[in-house]
Amino acid sequence: MINDPIETLPNTSVITIRRLKSIGINTFWDFLNYFPSRYEDYSLISPIDRLQEGETVTVTGKITDGKYAVTRNGTRMQKFKLEDGTGTVELAWFNQPYLLTLFKPGTQLSVAGLVKRFGNKFSLEPHEYEIGEPSKHTGRLIPIYPEKRGLSSKLIREKINYILNQLDHDRDQLGNELYPEEILAFNKLIDEKSAYQNIHFPDNKNALNKSKQRLAFDELFIIQLTSALIRKEWEIQTVGHKFDAGNTHMYSLQKFINHLPFKLTASQQKVWEEIKYDLTKTKPMNRFLQGEVGSGKTVVAALGCYLAYLNGYQSLIMAPTEILAQQHYQTLTNLFKDSPVKIGLQTGSQKISNFKSQNSNCDIVVGTHALISRKFSLNKIGFIVIDEQHRFGVAQRAKLKEKGINPHILTMTATPIPRTVALTLHGELDLSVIDEMPIGRLPVKTYLVPKLKREAGYQWIKRQIKEQGVQTFIVCPLIAESETETMQSVKAVTKEYEYLKSYVFPELKLGLVHGKLKSKEKDTVMNDFKKRKYDILVATPVVEVGIDVPNATIMIIEGAERYGLAQLHQLRGRIGRGDKQSYCFLFTSNDNHDVSERLKYFTVTNQGRLLAEKDLIIRGPGQIYGQMQHGYTDLKIASFTDYSLIKQTRSAAEYFINHYALDKFPGLKERIERKKVEEVSRD
């Protein structure tokens, strides 16, 4: 019953079904998990003779009169009188003629709304009504749902109420608890069924809070348990060969480190120790390395590749785009120039059939993420590094296993992720963080530019370009909230490009790059920019981050208010990569107080993690990653800022795993399976 399709709901039109499906509601279960965004309190039921102006109340009585009226400015009204034995109150709706047929005199009606007074006459401004006694739309705390695709709260309420009633008849559903008794007791959780009942139709505020607690616990617990189970599965797997980092290898590693053109930062050192420790175990590494742009993740990954090489194994390094793969290839070639380590580059244009012959004698092969889905067969892959991809999860690992390899895997990202988010969404991975920048790196100077100073800003940039020979990024505003870049933003960026070229910087060379270009074309423009064929690159925000153009020291971000702070930080990360001072200018098209407070915080904060944490508090996680990064879902009812509940559910999941077998808890098992399917479909 809980998995019944919504098509089996009575009295539900095809259009409604279609709309529900479009917002992801396919089954009764989905419906129950469509939670209210807020509640209205209509629980005060008042006799008509006790009404007080300004109160929000529910009145229940009989319709005595109904008529059609037109206001002075021509709006059509439906006016009624409602009588309850203590008095009469007037009700008026606008433009809802069908109410005249619905509320015939004598109809028993409950209405919730705001009491108004004209002279000594009371009227009620109706917010909700229902025929009969108060039950689900009036006379209590009433749920208000996110009203998408023209689906009204009233309709959603009706359907959910129906489903909850069905559950009541069907005792087995939600009747068997998900958890062992002591997990419920220890975490002071109410039972699941009352939780669902009260999240939609709360008896009172206390019951509502308890329901929220229970459901938030469930949500996080399922995530944590899923991770814990994956972790456990991985723990029993073994790699082909355990790397040795002792004796002669230790000596070689040290020599390599000593010959680097720089000294490792303490943070790099610490992370390298963590990675090295993993690499010398038989259990495959599943580590997630987080570090600001420019914090030096590549060299740490290179050390891992070197250790693999010393042990006779090959490494794969994968980047999201071809141009980044080339960049890595160059960096590694440099790092290993005095060593016998052979490095190969696998680009999209090369034939797959040549892959083996070209790369089988390489110790490190660099390519794009597509490498993973290729039918490659290298001799001995021992270590895989994946740059800038968050979700290298269960599905990808399984794919590798199908190919018969079970390597150590290191994923890396420059995306700032708040600690609580990492603990929740990457719970199955071990986390390493590089949290300091190499010394001597100059932080980017960031300014919020008022409208009046735009022109002066352009002139300043012009001088910098002419006098210092530096380059500039101009990032055009983020337009659609949709996932893919729309034609609209391409049009906008093209227009801005034409404008800048003709009117603002006519004597300079401008390039244009946006998401609708083919990836070859994009790479060409980026490469030309790198080769200084352009002074200024006009770009849309979705264009790949990570590209290294040390000579680009200036960035303008248009419409800065539209971004989350973490997103802004990622954009800013494209400059400040050389030893020259870099400058970032924020232009806004809307600068109310909140916007400028937020952006001012950005101008004085250079740490991505702090910015991400601020975002999480101000805008919620959906906003942090927004268009820039996919694969992050928002929580439905729990919160990423709730560190204590995240910790609590994590230890509850540990406890469960250590004391119980999932098979004994079919409800929970089903929930986990569902979660895994969601995860994989997101990958």
Instruction: List the structure tokens of 513.
Output: 């790059």
Quick one: which of 36, 143, 202, 296 contacts ligand ADP (CB under 6 A)? 296
Least gap, CB of 529 to ligand ADP (angstroms):
18
Least gap, CB of 295 to ligand ADP (angstroms):
5
- Asked if residues 311 and 382 have their Cβ atoms less than 8 Å apart, the reply is yes
Should residue 570 be labelled a site residue for ligand ADP when binding is judged by CB under 6 A?
no
Should residue 299 be labelled a site residue for ligand ADP when binding is judged by CB under 6 A?
yes
Least gap, CB of 405 to ligand ADP (angstroms):
25
**In terms of Cα–Cα distance, which of 624, 496, 606, 482 is closest to 563?**
624
Least gap, CB of 431 to ligand ADP (angstroms):
16
Should residue 297 be labelled a site residue for ligand ADP when binding is judged by CB under 6 A?
yes
Least gap, CB of 305 to ligand ADP (angstroms):
13
Least gap, CB of 444 to ligand ADP (angstroms):
14
- The total number of residues shown for the chain amounts to 683
Should residue 382 be labelled a site residue for ligand ADP when binding is judged by CB under 6 A?
no
Q: Tell me whether strands 343-345 and 364-368 are parallel, antiparallel or unpaired.
A: parallel
How many Å apart are CA 427 and CA 421, to the nearest integer? Answer: 9
How many Å apart are CA 645 and CA 81, to the nearest integer? Answer: 51
Residue with tokens 């990202």: 413
Q: x/- binding map, residues 108-147, to ligand ADP, per CB under 6 A?
A: ----------------------------------------
* Beta carbon nearer to ligand ADP, 269 or 589: 269
Using CB under 6 A, which of the segments 154-162, 167-175, 286-294, 452-460 binds ligand ADP? Answer: 286-294
* Beta carbon nearer to ligand ADP, 261 or 340: 261
How many Å apart are CA 133 and CA 42, to the nearest integer? Answer: 13
HSE on the CB side for 164, CA within 13 Å? 21
Residues 6+ apart with CB under 8 A from 557: 475, 563, 568, 571, 572, 584, 585, 586, 587
Should residue 265 be labelled a site residue for ligand ADP when binding is judged by CB under 6 A?
yes
Cα–Cα–Cα angle for 83, 85, 90, rounded to 5 degrees: 20
Least gap, CB of 276 to ligand ADP (angstroms):
17
244: left (phi over 0), alpha (psi -120 to 50) or beta: beta
Should residue 294 be labelled a site residue for ligand ADP when binding is judged by CB under 6 A?
yes
Least gap, CB of 425 to ligand ADP (angstroms):
21
> Cα-flanking dihedrals φ and ψ of residue 668, to 5°?
-65, -40
Quick one: which of 124, 364, 414, 557 contacts ligand ADP (CB under 6 A)? 414
State the DSSP string of 377-426. Answer: --S-EEEEEEES-S---HHHHHHHHHTT---EEEEEE-S---HHHHHHHT
Using CB under 6 A, which of the segments 111-119, 260-268, 275-283, 469-477 binds ligand ADP? Answer: 260-268
Using CB under 6 A, which of the segments 249-257, 262-270, 583-591, 628-636 binds ligand ADP? Answer: 262-270
Least gap, CB of 261 to ligand ADP (angstroms):
7
Should residue 257 be labelled a site residue for ligand ADP when binding is judged by CB under 6 A?
no
Q: How many residues of this chain interact with ligand ADP, rule: CB under 6 A?
A: 15
- Residue 25 pairs in a beta bridge with none
Should residue 180 be labelled a site residue for ligand ADP when binding is judged by CB under 6 A?
no
Instruction: Give the C-alpha distances (Å, rounded to integers) separating 296 from 55, 234, 261, 411, 565.
Output: 62, 28, 13, 14, 22
Quick one: which of 138, 197, 286, 298 contacts ligand ADP (CB under 6 A)? 298
* Beta carbon nearer to ligand ADP, 301 or 638: 301
Cα–Cα–Cα angle for 21, 23, 29, rounded to 5 degrees: 70
Should residue 438 be labelled a site residue for ligand ADP when binding is judged by CB under 6 A?
yes
Should residue 582 be labelled a site residue for ligand ADP when binding is judged by CB under 6 A?
no
Least gap, CB of 278 to ligand ADP (angstroms):
19
Should residue 268 be labelled a site residue for ligand ADP when binding is judged by CB under 6 A?
yes
Helix H or strand E encompassing 472: strand 471-475
How many Å apart are CA 389 and CA 125, to the nearest integer? Answer: 53
* Beta carbon nearer to ligand ADP, 330 or 486: 330
Least gap, CB of 441 to ligand ADP (angstroms):
8
Quick one: which of 134, 139, 291, 559 contacts ligand ADP (CB under 6 A)? 291
Should residue 262 be labelled a site residue for ligand ADP when binding is judged by CB under 6 A?
yes
* Beta carbon nearer to ligand ADP, 37 or 254: 254
Least gap, CB of 338 to ligand ADP (angstroms):
15
Other CB atoms within a 10 A radius of the CB of residue 574 amount to 24
SS3 618: helix
Least gap, CB of 324 to ligand ADP (angstroms):
10
Other CB atoms within a 10 A radius of the CB of residue 105 amount to 12
* Beta carbon nearer to ligand ADP, 124 or 317: 317
Using CB under 6 A, which of the segments 13-21, 261-269, 318-326, 501-509 binds ligand ADP? Answer: 261-269
Q: Which residue is nearest to ligand ADP (CB)?
A: 296
Residues in 608-647 at the binding interface with ligand ADP, rule: CB under 6 A:
none
Quick one: which of 293, 345, 386, 565 contacts ligand ADP (CB under 6 A)? 293
Other CB atoms within a 10 A radius of the CB of residue 240 amount to 14
Residue with tokens 């002066």: 456
How many Å apart are CA 301 and CA 285, to the nearest integer? Answer: 13
- Asked if residues 409 and 392 have their Cβ atoms less than 8 Å apart, the reply is yes
**In terms of Cα–Cα distance, which of 312, 406, 322 is closest to 363?**
312
> Cα-flanking dihedrals φ and ψ of residue 627, to 5°?
-75, -20
Quick one: which of 16, 58, 110, 295 contacts ligand ADP (CB under 6 A)? 295
Instruction: Give the C-alpha distances (Å, rounded to integers) separating 171 from 46, 167, 396, 506, 637.
Output: 36, 7, 40, 75, 25
How many Å apart are CA 580 and CA 313, to the nearest integer? Answer: 39
Using CB under 6 A, which of the segments 7-15, 51-59, 287-295, 372-380 binds ligand ADP? Answer: 287-295
Using CB under 6 A, which of the segments 142-150, 296-304, 505-513, 629-637 binds ligand ADP? Answer: 296-304
How many Å apart are CA 211 and CA 79, to the nearest integer? Answer: 39
Should residue 197 be labelled a site residue for ligand ADP when binding is judged by CB under 6 A?
no
Least gap, CB of 345 to ligand ADP (angstroms):
17
- Residue 108 pairs in a beta bridge with 62
How many Å apart are CA 133 and CA 84, to the nearest integer? Answer: 12
Residues that bind ligand ADP in the complex, under the rule CB under 6 A: 262-265, 268, 291, 293-299, 414, 438
